[in-house]
Chain A
Amino acid sequence: MFQTQLSTKHLLGINYIHQDDIDLIFKTATEFKEVINRPIKKVPSLRDITIANVFFENSTRTRISFELAERRLSADVVNFAASSSSVSKGETLLDTVNNILAMKVDMVVMRHPAPGAHHFLAKHIDASIINAGDGTHEHPTQALLDAYSIQEKIGTVKGKNIVIVGDILHSRVALSNIYCLKKMGANVMVCGPSTLIPKHIKSLGVEVSYNLREALQWCDVANVLRIQLERQDVNFIPSQREYIKFFGINRQLLESLGKEIVIMHPGPINRGVELASDVADSASSIILQQVENGVAIRMAVLYLLAGRRSN
């Protein structure tokens, strides 16, 4: 018997869902991908649902991607940015969200700088909550769209070697990706300066490498992350120039590997830092496919959570 509904009411993180949930989301996303490539890119599934996008942290692409996904499912959408809200007047998170829900909102898509903010909310409110990033903790829809894009490009995730390069310490994308790829049976390695690799990362079942060439030689897919300068309260790397020298990926390095690897990046790219321009725009890069798949994955998550029977 196929699984037809998600095992959870909220999408708080990949750590809290099962492999079967991931399969169901991917299967549904494939159908939505067909929908968003039609001349009329809209279906009426969520026409009686109202969704609040609550962003306590800046975001352009994730918010646009969620908003497009919501609108293509015909949901009503309200956007809420913390900078323009009463949060700056001292309101608590719970009060803010309860005020939004009092206006009969069914689902909340939230980004918040505090890890676990979504768990706290899930305990106190009835609406479905989707995590669009909580601090350095998880960013589940990004991990789902990354794994989906890998599966689409090379057929399967299971048994493939996937390296995540860059600032692993501050990256919620890295953590969600590790959970997701491990659940799907991939071999995962992280690679970056030792100061940006968490001390106990091996307990998640991943390999660690401090040598970019070795890591690329090993992998089928490289998911390259941005150095998050805004999260660095102390200097983790001596200089950007040194980072580029040791961990920047350029065409020359890729050609010297003697094999094809798939290049991914969750965006925004710092061209010339973690990825050289000619790599980001090359045929082996699936960066723009990731963005397209992001809308389909988010449509699938919203659709499946809205359709779940509450009992």
Chain B
Amino acid sequence: MENGRVIISADRFDLIAWRLAHQIIERHADMSKMCLIGIQERGVHLAHKLRQKIEILLGQPSFKYGKLDITFYRDDFRMREIPIRASATEIDFSIDKKHVILVDDVLYTGRTVHAAIAALQDFGRPDAIEMLCMIDRRFNRHFPIKADYSGMAVDALDEAYVRVKFAEVDGLDEVRLYGGRHE
């Protein structure tokens, strides 16, 4: 029996993903100016899912899609117990004058997004950067960063831990809430 409590089941996960895809389309009339960038590693799975759904909704829209690894931009690089292994960055287009939507699984302290914004500046000057997340832990922020699109807000204690699972890597799509990292 797996620990933790399911807060988003597979069915609901899919519904939320459809809603987020619709919200992106609603806000971006001109899809050619929009690009979706998943933050490694788990944001990439969500970005991929959203991209598929937008393509189903709009046929074959011409928007760009990329992956961003922020390991080299982290501000806690030498303070972590276990160093993070770098993943690939794949942004083979210019983000100049684009509306970038950064995609991550959980928005927590905001440090990852902060690093991602710094990283994006090495790729060009986007017109705007928006943030999309599946889970918004809105009371645990360290930076003045907010989500423009969020799947679900989770108001939990700092010790709590939220895990977003993806069918591609975990067997099914769901979100679990744990009392602590070691539960």
Which residues of chain A have a CB within 8 Å of any CB of chain B? Answer: 2, 4-5, 24, 27-28, 30-32, 34-35, 38-40, 42-45, 73, 303-304, 306-309
Sort chain B's interface into a size bin. 20 to 34
A-chain residues with CB within 8 Å of residue B124 when the two chains form the complex: 39
Q: Which stretch, B16-24, B79-87, B126-134, B152-160, touches the partner chain A?
A: B79-87
Q: Can you name the residue of chain A whose Cβ is closest to the Cβ of B87?
A: A31
A24 to B86, CA, bound (A): 10
The 7 A-B pairs with the shortest beta carbon distances in the complex, nearest first, are A43-B72, A40-B122, A31-B86, A45-B72, A4-B83, A307-B83, A5-B83
Contact B118 A27 (CB under 8 A): no
A308 to B84, CA, bound (A): 11
A178 to B78, CA, bound (A): 33
Known A-B contacts A43-B72, A44-B118, A45-B73; A307 and B85 likewise in contact (beta carbons under 8 Å): no
A-chain residues with CB within 8 Å of residue B87 when the two chains form the complex: 31
Known A-B contacts A31-B89, A34-B89; A42 and B83 likewise in contact (beta carbons under 8 Å): no
B-chain residues with CB within 8 Å of residue A45 when the two chains form the complex: 72-74, 77
B-chain residues with CB within 8 Å of residue A5 when the two chains form the complex: 82-83
Known A-B contacts A44-B72, A44-B73, A45-B73; A308 and B88 likewise in contact (beta carbons under 8 Å): no
28 A-B residue contacts at CB 8 Å? A2-B85, A4-B83, A5-B82, A5-B83, A27-B86, A28-B86, A31-B69, A31-B71, A31-B86, A31-B88, A35-B72, A39-B122, A40-B123, A42-B122, A43-B72, A43-B73, A43-B122, A44-B73, A44-B118, A45-B72, A304-B83, A306-B78, A307-B77, A307-B78, A308-B83, A309-B80, A309-B81, A309-B83
The prevalent SS among residues of A at the interface is loop
Given contacts A40-B123, A45-B72, 14 further A-B contacts (CB under 8 A): A2-B85, A5-B83, A30-B88, A31-B69, A31-B89, A35-B89, A39-B122, A40-B121, A43-B73, A45-B74, A45-B77, A307-B77, A307-B78, A309-B80
A34 to B124, CA, bound (A): 16
A-chain residues with CB within 8 Å of residue B118 when the two chains form the complex: 44
B-chain residues with CB within 8 Å of residue A39 when the two chains form the complex: 122-124
A40 to B123, CA, bound (A): 7
The prevalent SS among residues of B at the interface is loop
Q: Can you name the residue of chain A whose Cβ is closest to the Cβ of B81?
A: A309
A28 to B83, CA, bound (A): 12
A35 to B86, CA, bound (A): 12
Contact B123 A38 (CB under 8 A): yes
A-chain residues with CB within 8 Å of residue B123 when the two chains form the complex: 38-40
A-chain residues with CB within 8 Å of residue B82 when the two chains form the complex: 4-5
Q: Name the interface residues of B55-114: CB closer than 8 Å to any CB of A.
A: 69, 71-74, 77-78, 80-89
Contact B72 A303 (CB under 8 A): yes
A192 to B77, CA, bound (A): 46
B-chain residues with CB within 8 Å of residue A42 when the two chains form the complex: 122
A303 to B84, CA, bound (A): 12
Q: Can you name the residue of chain B whose Cβ is closest to the Cβ of A74?
A: B72
Known A-B contacts A2-B85, A5-B83, A31-B88; A38 and B72 likewise in contact (beta carbons under 8 Å): no
A4 to B82, CA, bound (A): 7
Nearest-Cβ distance from residue A42 to partner chain B, whole angstroms: 7
A157 to B119, CA, bound (A): 33
B-chain residues with CB within 8 Å of residue A40 when the two chains form the complex: 121-123
Nearest-Cβ distance from residue B173 to partner chain A, whole angstroms: 24
Q: Can you name the residue of chain B whose Cβ is closest to the Cβ of A6?
A: B83
A5 to B82, CA, bound (A): 8
Q: Can you name the residue of chain A whose Cβ is closest to the Cβ of B91?
A: A38
B-chain residues with CB within 8 Å of residue A303 when the two chains form the complex: 72
A306 to B78, CA, bound (A): 7
Nearest-Cβ distance from residue A36 to partner chain B, whole angstroms: 12
A30 to B86, CA, bound (A): 9
Known A-B contacts A31-B69, A307-B77, A307-B78; A4 and B84 likewise in contact (beta carbons under 8 Å): yes
B-chain residues with CB within 8 Å of residue A43 when the two chains form the complex: 72-73, 119, 122
A-chain residues with CB within 8 Å of residue B83 when the two chains form the complex: 4-5, 304, 307-309
Q: Can you name the residue of chain A whose Cβ is closest to the Cβ of B70?
A: A43
A42 to B118, CA, bound (A): 11
Q: Name the interface residues of B121-150: CB closer than 8 Å to any CB of A.
A: 121-124
A-chain residues with CB within 8 Å of residue B71 when the two chains form the complex: 31
Contact A34 B85 (CB under 8 A): no
Q: Can you name the residue of chain B whose Cβ is closest to the Cβ of A31?
A: B86
A40 to B96, CA, bound (A): 13
B-chain residues with CB within 8 Å of residue A2 when the two chains form the complex: 85
Q: Can you name the residue of chain B whose Cβ is closest to the Cβ of A44?
A: B73
A-chain residues with CB within 8 Å of residue B81 when the two chains form the complex: 309
